[in-house]
């Protein structure tokens, strides 16, 4: 039987970029004997418009039963006034929560043709390919107690950083598994110098490392890590860190490499019966209401999200390499959507123009 994929295009540019991914899925079916059982559903505002909820129980069940979910983006000004309980992002949050996606993979990859876009020197970022694994379901954003209380004659804002051993263990394993498939180098970042949760983090990661003797493990304080990421990011392969530090470090690392329209992500959970993790793939960008409906969106972030699905959910690393090489070729040839324009005299292509260029490069591969 074919591997199964649930596609949730969502709102704004979501459906526009997803249409290009559909072309690529069809290309793999026609040319590489790699077919998927694709189902499509609604999420976010699109689901609210049709069903009065940002995610129906039926779609939630489907997401739990497939090999992988690929999501476009949710939200938009049309839904800004909605009650919190039915806001578009609640659909995405429900997927992440009920699938228990605790490991968030954010690659920072720099295609040579775009190295000039970086805020750093070209030789610092050209060819960069690192992966940040961020714990996504625990830590200071969720820990209790939390709240704003009265103390004496002033208010106090409280959040609690709290990590259990098992929460650290599972995200560490996810990062080591990833390191095994990549450069076998893992750097764990916390602040064990000033945080109890950081001390436990370092201990548990060190214990998990015994199960992965081939992986070279290092530890770094997260603030020093932030400096090293800007100074010489190529020293890293896989980085694993907690929810808060991962939020900051992955956003910073992303900007080493340029446009929001280029950045994919994956959120992984526990292994399923087939040994592969539960998985949701999505571009980092949102629904981009400022350009929605104009055919200007860059589909590469969504295309690279599908490439991550090929690699991590469908065990098709060679085909993922093929797709990423096609994207690289297109960029090297100077094909640019409007968000990537830097050079003078380059005319931007449309969303579908970019998708067609990737297909042409696949044909030539
Ligand atoms: P955004 O990522 O949608 O857009 C930020 C800027 O980047 C805009 O100028 C946009 O045109 C541009 N941009 C984003 N993706 C692009 C692409 N593929 N090609 C070319 N340009 C691109 O973030 P913003 O404006 O803060 O949020 C817009 C809506 O999206 C909001 O409703 C927000 O809640 C939602 N959102 C959804 C996310 C998700 O579905 N995971 C993530 C972030 C925001
Ligand atoms: Mg963030």
> How sure is the predictor about 345, in pLDDT bands with cuts at 50, 70 and 90?
confident
Respond yes or no: is residue 97 known to be catalytic. Answer: no
Q: What percent of the chain has pLDDT over 90?
A: 89
Answer yes or no: pTM beyond 0.90: yes
Q: Which residue has the tokens 């916390």?
A: 190
- Write down the pLDDT at residue 10: 98
For the beta carbon of residue 117, count every other beta carbon within 10 angstroms. Answer: 19
Among residues 247, 278, 281, 339, the one annotated as catalytic is 247
For the beta carbon of residue 45, count every other beta carbon within 10 angstroms. Answer: 26
CA 6 from centroid of its chain's CA atoms: 17
Q: Is 293 annotated as a binding residue?
A: yes
Respond yes or no: is residue 11 known to be catalytic. Answer: no
- Write down the pLDDT at residue 346: 84
- Write down the pLDDT at residue 257: 77
Distance (Å) from CA 89 to ligand 1 centroid: 12
Q: Is 83 annotated as a binding residue?
A: yes
Q: pLDDT (tens digit, 9 = 90+) per residue, 153-180?
A: 999 999 999 999 999 999 999 999 999 9
Average pLDDT over residues 102-114: 92
- Where b means 16+ CB within 10 Å and e means fewer, 285-324 reads bbbbbebbeeebbbbbbbbbbbbbbbbbbbebeebbebbb
Domains 1-110+259-365 and 129-255 agree in fold: yes
Distance (Å) from CA 17 to ligand 1 centroid: 12
Domain coordinates in residue numbering, the chain: 1-110+259-365, 129-255
For the beta carbon of residue 31, count every other beta carbon within 10 angstroms. Answer: 12
Average pLDDT over residues 35-48: 98
* Alpha helix segments (H runs only) across 55-150: 57-65, 88-98, 122-125
Helices (H) and strands (E) in the chain, counts: 12, 12
CB 7 within 8 A of CB 340: no
Which ligand 1 atom lies nearest to the CA of residue 289?
28
- Write down the pLDDT at residue 88: 97
Respond yes or no: is residue 281 known to be catalytic. Answer: no
- With a 6 Å cutoff on the Cβ, whether 128 touches ligand 1 is no
Q: Distance of CA 215 to CAs 212, 221, 256, Å?
A: 6, 19, 26
1-110+259-365 is classed in which CATH architecture? 3-Layer(aba) Sandwich (3.40)
- With a 6 Å cutoff on the Cβ, whether 287 touches ligand 1 is yes
- Write down the pLDDT at residue 14: 98
Q: pLDDT (tens digit, 9 = 90+) per residue, 243-295?
A: 999 999 998 998 887 788 999 999 999 999 988 999 999 999 999 999 999 99
Average pLDDT over residues 346-361: 96
- Write down the pLDDT at residue 361: 98
Q: Whose CA is nearest to atom 30 of ligand 1?
A: 286
Cα–Cα distance measured from residue 68 to residue 83, given in angstroms and rounded to the nearest whole number: 30
Q: Among all ligands shown, which has an atom nearest to the Cα of 265?
A: 1
- Write down the pLDDT at residue 341: 84
- With a 6 Å cutoff on the Cβ, whether 289 touches ligand 1 is yes
- Write down the pLDDT at residue 272: 93
Q: Which residue has the tokens 């490392």?
A: 209
Statement: residue 343 has pLDDT above 80: no
- Write down the pLDDT at residue 247: 94
| 237 closest CA partner among 311, 130, 126, 105 | 130
For 23-31, the CB contacts below 8 A with 24+ separation are 23/355, 23/356, 23/359, 24/303, 24/306, 24/323, 24/355, 24/358, 24/359, 24/362, 25/306, 27/359, 27/362, 27/363, 28/319, 31/362, 31/363
Answer with the residue of higher pLDDT: 120 or 172: 172
- Write down the pLDDT at residue 43: 98
Q: Which residue has the tokens 């690192």?
A: 130
Q: Which residue has the tokens 């069903």?
A: 51
* Alpha helix segments (H runs only) across 210-316: 222-231, 243-255, 300-312
CATH for the stretch 129-255: 3.40.718.10
> How sure is the predictor about 323, in pLDDT bands with cuts at 50, 70 and 90?
very high
Respond yes or no: is residue 223 known to be catalytic. Answer: yes
CA 68 from centroid of its chain's CA atoms: 13
Distance (Å) from CA 216 to ligand 1 centroid: 37
Average pLDDT over residues 94-103: 96
> How sure is the predictor about 116, in pLDDT bands with cuts at 50, 70 and 90?
confident
What is the overall mean pLDDT for the chain? 95
Helix 351-363 crosses helix 300-312 at what angle (to 10 degrees)?
A: 40
Strands 129-135 and 143-151: unpaired
Q: Is 15 annotated as a binding residue?
A: no
| 109 closest CA partner among 226, 284, 227 | 284
Tokens coding 201: 């983090």
Average pLDDT over residues 116-128: 84
SS3 for 9? strand
Q: pLDDT (tens digit, 9 = 90+) per residue, 177-192?
A: 999 999 999 999 999 9
Q: pLDDT (tens digit, 9 = 90+) per residue, 61-92?
A: 999 999 999 999 999 999 999 998 999 999 99
Which ligand 1 atom lies nearest to the CA of residue 44?
40
CB 334 within 8 A of CB 99: no
Give the residues across from 264 on adjacent strands.
Answer: 283
Cα–Cα distance measured from residue 120 to residue 89, given in angstroms and rounded to the nearest whole number: 33
Least confident stretch, 53-62, 91-100, 342-351:
342-351
Q: Is 79 annotated as a binding residue?
A: yes
**Cis peptide bond upstream of 140, omega within 30:** no
């Amino acid at each position: 039987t074919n591997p199964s994929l649930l596609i949730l295009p969502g709102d704004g540019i979501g459906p526009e970029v997803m249409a290009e991914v559909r072309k690529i899925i069809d290309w793999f079916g026609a040319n590489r004997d790699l077919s998927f059982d694709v189902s499509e559903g609604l999420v976010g505002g699109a689901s609210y418009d049709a069903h009065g909820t940002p995610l129906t129980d039926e779609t939630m069940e489907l997401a739990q039963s497939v090999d992988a979910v690929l999501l476009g983006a949710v939200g938009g000004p049309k839904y800004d006034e909605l009650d919190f309980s039915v806001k578009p992002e609640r659909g995405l949050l429900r997927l992440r929560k009920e699938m228990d996606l605790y490991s968030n993979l954010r690659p920072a990859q720099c295609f040579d043709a775009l190295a000039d876009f970086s805020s750093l020197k070209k030789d610092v970022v050209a060819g960069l390919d690192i992966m940040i694994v961020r714990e996504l379901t625990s830590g200071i954003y969720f820990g209790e107690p939390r709240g704003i209380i009265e103390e004496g004659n002033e208010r106090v804002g409280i959040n609690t950083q709290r990590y259990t051993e098992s929460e650290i263990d599972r995200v560490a394993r996810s990062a080591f598994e990833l390191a095994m498939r990549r450069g076998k180098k893992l750097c764990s970042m916390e602040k064990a110098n000033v945080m109890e949760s950081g001390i436990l983090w370092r201990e548990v990661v060190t214990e998990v490392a015994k199960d992965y003797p081939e992986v070279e493990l290092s530890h770094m304080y997260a603030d020093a890590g932030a400096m090293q990421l800007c100074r010489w990011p190529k020293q890293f392969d896989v980085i694993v860190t907690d929810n808060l530090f991962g939020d900051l470090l992955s956003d910073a690392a992303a900007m080493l490499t340029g446009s929001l329209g280029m950045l994919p992500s994956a959120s992984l959970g526990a292994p399923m019966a087939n040994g592969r993790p539960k998985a949701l793939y999505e571009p980092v960008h949102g629904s981009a209401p400022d350009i929605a409906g104009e055919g200007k969106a860059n589909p590469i972030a969504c295309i690279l999200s599908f490439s991550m699905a090929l690699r991590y959910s469908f065990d098709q690393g060679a085909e993922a390499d093929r797709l990423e090489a096609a994207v690289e070729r297109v960029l090297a040839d100077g094909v640019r959507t409007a968000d990537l324009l830097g050079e003078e005299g380059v005319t931007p292509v449309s969303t579908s123009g970019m998708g067609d260029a990737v297909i042409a490069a696949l044909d030539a591969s």
